[in-house]
Copies of this chain bind each other. A is one copy, B any other.
Amino acid sequence: MILVLKSNPEKEKVDNLIKMLNDKGLATNISEGSSHTVIGLIGDTSRLPVDLISAIDIVESVTRISEPFKAANRKIHPESTIVKVTENVSIGEGFFHVIAGPCSVESEEQVIEVAKDVKASGATLLRGGAFKPRTSPYAFQGLHADGLKLLLEAKKATGLPVVTEIMNVNHLDLFEDVDVIQVGARNMQNFDLLKELGKCRKPILLKRGLANTMEEFLMSAEYIMAGGNSNVILCERGIRTFETKTRNTLDLSAIPMLKKLSHLPIIVDPSHATGISWMVEPMSKAAVAVGADGLMIEVHNDPPKALCDGAQSLDPKQFDSLMKEIKRRVEFEGKQG
């Protein structure tokens, strides 16, 4: 960490600051510039809050050199993490998995039909929402515990491991047979939920918040990992920008950058990112090429009648055609489907 002091600080204040830093176990290196004095801190600064230091009256600016995340940091853990979901499904470097299914579980018939269809087309995990975060309190909120039960029946019927979203720490018991627990974009900084998920050992699919930086994203992964659960799968699903033609702006540059910063696997959700079903295919192709470890795609047996997010869902036929494209490309990249 580097502190730049304001011009002409009082010597006594500088001495006090250095003493305070030394008391925290940090060595200091002082450099007198033409207009500013610079203090370099030597030692572990990860627990030293930038804002505390910034508040000191003689300090002009503070720059952190080492990243504030550790467990998620590739510099510290150079090897790519492979998250093992089941015997046959491992997510991470070298693999490419497609998670597919309806936005929300609506009925036994619907979810089992979609599950069979997406399996036949090559999806290896089934998604389906039982607890739905909706902007409006008047919109359909999901079938809750009943929805989870139906999703687990679809798992039984097809053998596909399931991914579904948790919205409340108190529901954790209901997720016992769920294979991957999803944390939605709006809950990316619901720190109490993250801490609780850090205590279990299930894979967690963590979605990037729609206005969160990559660093904040990794800090949220760090919350889960700091609790002891290192089975974290990141998911880029679009960020909020000024553009209105697409629902969000899919930030594909986040894929290589997050892979550089962290060893965690990362997948892409083109359905939520664009909000438009015909855009799922081109953005999926780009996600494969840019190096993502998988995709999460909404598929509904009858999109116009979907109880949520119909506009971005593919029907099973469209999904089948998409999967043919994806398989060719995954092969081209030399990855295992």
Binds B, one of A88-96, A152-160, A283-291: A283-291
| Contact (Cβ within 8 A) B211 A303 | no
CB contacts (< 8 Å) of A308 on chain B: these are 49, 51-52
Asked if B243 and A255 make an inter-chain contact with CB atoms under 8 angstroms apart, the answer reads no
Are A313 and B55 in contact, CB atoms less than 8 angstroms apart? yes
Interface membership of A66, Cβ < 8 A:
yes
Find out whether the CB atom of B38 lies under 8 angstroms from the CB atom of A34.
no
Q: How many angstroms between the C-alpha atoms of A56 and B252 in the bound complex?
A: 26
Question: Which residues of chain B are near A245, meaning CB under 8 Å?
Answer: 213-215, 257, 261
Interface membership of A121, Cβ < 8 A: no
Check A310–B52 contact: CB distance below 8 A: yes
A134 at the interface (CB under 8 A from B): yes
Contacts A241-B249, A251-B243, A253-B249 given: A65-B55 contact, CB under 8 Å?
Answer: no
Q: Is A244 an interface residue (CB 8 A)?
A: yes
> Is the Cβ of B273 less than 8 Å from the Cβ of A282?
no
**Pair B311/A51 contact, Cβ less than 8 Å:** yes
Q: Which of A31-61 contact B (CB under 8 A)?
A: 31-36, 38, 40-44, 46-47, 49, 51-52, 54-57, 60-61
Question: Chain A 239-261 against B: per-residue CB contact (8 Å), 1 yes, 0 no?
Answer: 11111111001111111110011
| B283 and A189 form a contact (CB under 8 A) | no
- Tell whether A213 pairs with B31 under 8 Å between CB atoms, given A56-B304, A169-B170, A310-B51: no
Q: Which residue of B lies closest to A1 (CB)?
A: B33
Contact A304-B243, Cβ < 8 Å, known A32-B29, A138-B47, A168-B192:
no
Partner-B contacts on A (CB < 8 A): 2, 4, 7, 29, 31-36, 38, 40-44, 46-47, 49, 51-52, 54-57, 60-61, 63, 65-66, 68, 75, 133-141, 167-170, 186-187, 189-192, 195, 209-211, 213-216, 219, 222-223, 226, 239-246, 249-257, 260-261, 273-275, 277-279, 282-283, 285-291, 303-313, 329, 332
